[in-house]
Amino acid sequence: MNTPVHRLTLQQINAMEKLEFVESLGGIFEHSPWVAEGVYGRRPFEHLQHLHTEMMDIAQNAEPDRQLALLKAHPDLATRLAVSPLSAAEQQGAGLDRLTPEEFRQLTELNAAYTERFRFPFILAVRGKDKDDILNAIRERVGRSLEEEQAQALREIGKITRFRLEDLLGTG
């Protein structure tokens, strides 16, 4: 589901002052504007992929505590708690706002088991997936090692942030 956002051009992004840049791109990585702050000095960006690669480099090479904070900034899927507008729209697009009571219970239990095991929420790029895909993915991933799951969570964040940048730049 495409989130309604104010579209920008790469030229506008490259020309922004730091405060405007961070305000415009700070939400691409869930509640982690430090990624946008860190990438600001790497301008100009030649294309969307260049911007995304540089943002992912900041996230992947962050100190372990900061990287864990990035993972923890993501909401549980199908949570009834407040989530960012981008996350809410992404989850609605996957049908997570229309789970049956039994599906909601299963996902809640799987989320709890996952978070207990890994100390961060289950992260999945839900665009293009349905509730069955999501339930199957969490069932499979809850048994992985911490190292595998941290790497997978960062890959999923890469997919999520790529979608968000495409929406922002009108190329998705």
Active site residues: 74
Distance CA 105, CA 97 (A): 13
Q: Can you tell me the distance from the alpha carbon of 164 to that of 158, in angstroms, rounded to the nearest whole number?
A: 10
Distance between CA 44 and CA 134 in Å, rounded? 37
153: closest CA among 52, 34, 69?
Answer: 69
**Phi (first) and psi of residue 95, to 5 degrees:** 85, 10
State the Cα–Cα distance between residues 71 and 29, nearest whole angstrom: 10
Q: Which two tokens stand for residue 86?
A: 């981008």
C-alpha 156/C-alpha 60 separation (Å) is 12
Phi, psi of 118 (to 5 degrees): -105, -15
